[in-house]
Amino acid sequence: MFKKDQSTKEKSMKATARKYGEVLFVGMPADLGRKVFAGRWKHPSRRLKSSVKRAIAMLRQVSRPRAMVRVLPVLGEHPYCFLNDFRYRVKSLRISRVLNLCHEAVVCAATLGHQFDAVLADDKLCAYDRFVLDRTASAAMEAVMDDLETTLSKRYCGPGQALTIRYSPGYCDWPIQGQHEIFALLPAKEIGVSLSASCLMKPCKTVTAIMGIGESASIRENGIVCMHCQQQGCPHRRCSHRPAYARKRSGDTIGKVQTQIQSIAR
Ligand code: SF4
């Protein structure tokens, strides 16, 4: 009986979250040190190591990672993805193409909190320590977003469903002004996050993102915008997969070259 009551309560909480948004508390990852060094500082000096150690201890003390999350229906059948109603659209044709494969989208904002901003602005910090603290906090923010993604997937994806990767305004062809739509849809003030007219977020370590919820198979096949893009040299490419037509074209070229070599050899 108790179990039944609990599941009913949980369902009603999820319904509220879908309608108005909900606050989630995210933990600071235990292996933050490893994440800070991964891909950034491969051969850290002793000074850097101890500076990162201090930065992590400070971060653990002052940051309170929180996220505001809202699940919205995707109104497909248009080149652009409309969220909730026809006032809000994702102004990126490439990202819309992926989101339109989904039936719902999760819009979220996560932050480390205001206290971190105060620590970063402290005059007593030397430039070196400030730089290390800033980089460490950026790595922490990424780790918090990864954690949040796992939580959201467990919370909102039903059987056979999955989340797309996360996209933020400023990525690919989505202008940074897309932040205004996100803030219009999300009661981000509840976690102390605000947006200036020039799209600057406060606190400084804040990330907003959107992820689609769709069928796992379709997400696996087509869920990353870069899968549909031909720009191989793009520094922001997030997968090595190339569209079928591009593969065919290069295959044809290779085929032609091979035939030419064979004919010369003969
Ligand atoms: S490869 Fe670059 S340009 Fe193409 S979709 Fe990905 S991020 Fe955008």
Q: What does pLDDT average to in each consecutive run of 10 residues of the chain (266 residues)?
A: 59 71 84 75 82 90 92 84 83 90 93 93 90 91 92 92 94 93 92 95 95 92 86 81 48 38 38
232 lines ligand 1 (CB under 6 A): no
172 lines ligand 1 (CB under 6 A): yes
pLDDT at 14: 67
Q: In angstroms, what is the span from residue 262 Cα to ligand 1's centroid?
A: 37
Single pTM value for the model: 0.81
pLDDT at 257: 34
DSSP 238: -
Count helices and strands (H / E) in the chain: 9, 9
For the record, the structure tokens of 185 come out as 């849809």
* Angstrom distance (rounded) from CA 131 to CA 76: 43
* Closest approach atom of ligand 1 to CA 225: 5
For the record, the structure tokens of 143 come out as 């780790």
pLDDT at 254: 35
Nearest to 59 by CA among 126, 123, 111, 124: 111
Co-location of 193 and 250 in the same domain: no
Co-location of 150 and 244 in the same domain: no
pLDDT at 251: 41
**Number of domains composing the chain:** 2
**Where is 107: in which H helix or E strand?**
strand 104-111
For the record, the structure tokens of 15 come out as 């319904």
Co-location of 28 and 133 in the same domain: yes
Co-location of 256 and 204 in the same domain: no
pLDDT at 238: 80
What CATH number does residue 182 fall under? 3.40.109.40
Q: In angstroms, what is the span from residue 162 Cα to ligand 1's centroid?
A: 22
* Closest approach atom of ligand 1 to CA 171: 7
* Closest approach atom of ligand 1 to CA 172: 8
Co-location of 85 and 134 in the same domain: yes
At residue 94, the 3 state secondary structure works out as: helix
Longest distance between any two alpha carbons in the chain, whole Å: 83
Q: In angstroms, what is the span from residue 227 Cα to ligand 1's centroid?
A: 8
pLDDT at 7: 67
Co-location of 220 and 248 in the same domain: no
- Cβ atoms of residues 139 and 32 within 8 Å: yes
Q: In angstroms, what is the span from residue 147 Cα to ligand 1's centroid?
A: 25
Q: In angstroms, what is the span from residue 8 Cα to ligand 1's centroid?
A: 43
pLDDT at 30: 79
Co-location of 209 and 122 in the same domain: yes
Co-location of 58 and 126 in the same domain: yes
Co-location of 78 and 118 in the same domain: yes
Which range marks the domain in which residue 241 is found?
Answer: 236-266
Co-location of 250 and 165 in the same domain: no
Any idea what the Cα angle at residue 168 is, between residues 163 and 172, rounded to 5°? Answer: 105
pLDDT at 40: 66
Co-location of 65 and 86 in the same domain: yes
* Closest approach atom of ligand 1 to CA 236: 7
Pocket test for ligand 1, best of 99, 172, 239 (most atoms within 8 A of CB): 172
233 lines ligand 1 (CB under 6 A): no
Pocket test for ligand 1, best of 174, 228, 234 (most atoms within 8 A of CB): 234
Q: In angstroms, what is the span from residue 98 Cα to ligand 1's centroid?
A: 13
